Amino acid sequence: MGEGTQTLAEMVRGADRDRYLSVLYAPEDKRDALFALYAFNAEIASIRDRISDPMPGEIRLQWWRDAIAAGDPRAGSGHPVAQALVAAIAKHRLPLSAFDSYLEARIFDLYDDPMPSRTDLEGYCGETASAVIQLAAMVLDGDAAPAHAELAGHAGCAQAMSGLLRLLPIHRSRGQCYVPRDVLAAAGMTPEEFIAGANDPRSAVAVQAMTALAREHLASFERHAKSLPQSLRPAFLPLALTSAYLAGIERGKDSMSSIRKHIQMFSVASRGWR
């Protein structure tokens, strides 16, 4: 592993442990590109933490659009993630439109507008987490990946929704609401009440509804996951942990040891989904 790749690997390890572990099951010649993709995802996801108002965030997202569209590693000169990502895009012929849609969807993270509806939430998850899974699949096996795009859609929704639920305390502290208005309305709440009412019984109902939606997508993924070729498994491996995460959310105890994560991923990497 070269110095540049080691830097990206450490970045992903610190920011996104699950995806870091999944890369360890990928062929060595694919790891550089996967670490670049996941480091990019971590970089964009952290923008909200590094700004005081949305405009600098939008400027940063535009910088990434320009760097990716340029298709030249020198466009991201001095930024190891940008340089590695542009190289990965070129090497594996990754579609620029997927990155443009990803960055457009991430604008939502910069503001405090509530998620309008379940459909909007699924669209957000599809353009972000699902897109990352599909791009990783293209890195791993460009010929096989297109046939499993729908599977990546369900996988990304399940993964992203469980992640949003796990980050709920942080989002509440910021005044953000990713739980859709229609889900909240069914629980008898407004977004403002949900943000302020962590101990409100209606909040628990809304979280249960979100958990059920995540499980619905996870079930859709798992029904067809047996068809995944072994070459694509590493792109989907973080899903091996999603059911346990959702169970922890339902119990109010969101934790999983590193050893358990390793065991769960190793099992699926070795045998696939059953």
Instruction: List pLDDT tens digits, range 224-261.
Output: 999 899 999 999 999 999 999 999 998 887 778 888 88
CATH number of 115-256: 1.10.600.10
Give the pLDDT score at 3.
Answer: 63
Residue 212, token pair as written in the block: 């059920």
pLDDT at residue 126 greater than cutoff 80: yes
Longest dimension (CA), the chain: 54
**DSSP states of 38-75 as a string?**
HHHHHHHHTGGGG-SSHHHHHHHHHHHHHHHHHT-GGG
**DSSP states of 102-165 as a string?**
HHHHGGGGGS-PPP--HHHHHHHHIIIIIHHHHHHHHHH-TTTGGGGHHHHHHHHHHHHHHHHH
Q: CB–CB of 260/252 below 8 Å?
A: no
Q: Which of 64, 61, 63 is nearest to 108 (CA)?
A: 61
**33-59 mean pLDDT:** 95
Give the pLDDT score at 78.
Answer: 73
Give the pLDDT score at 176.
Answer: 95
**45-74 mean pLDDT:** 90
Confidence label for 194 from pLDDT (cuts 50, 70 and 90) = very high
**30-54 mean pLDDT:** 95
pLDDT at residue 262 greater than cutoff 80: yes
Least confident of 4-8, 155-159, 169-173, 238-242: 4-8
Least confident of 20-24, 138-142, 170-174, 259-263: 259-263
Give the pLDDT score at 46.
Answer: 95
**53-67 mean pLDDT:** 95
Least confident of 123-127, 146-150, 228-232, 252-256: 252-256
**31-35 mean pLDDT:** 97
Confidence label for 274 from pLDDT (cuts 50, 70 and 90) = confident
Percentage of the chain surpassing pLDDT 90? 86
Taking the model in full, what pTM does it have?
0.95
Separation between Cα atoms, residue 55 and residue 110, nearest integer Å:
8
Question: How deeply is 157 buried, as exposed, middle or buried, from its count of CB atoms within 10 A (0-12, 13-18, 19+)?
Answer: buried
Q: CB–CB of 122/95 below 8 Å?
A: no
Instruction: List pLDDT tens digits, range 66-100.
Output: 999 987 666 556 789 999 999 999 999 999 999 99
How remote is the C-alpha of 250 from its chain's centroid? 21
Residue 129, token pair as written in the block: 């987490």
Domain with CATH 1.10.600.10 in the chain: 115-256
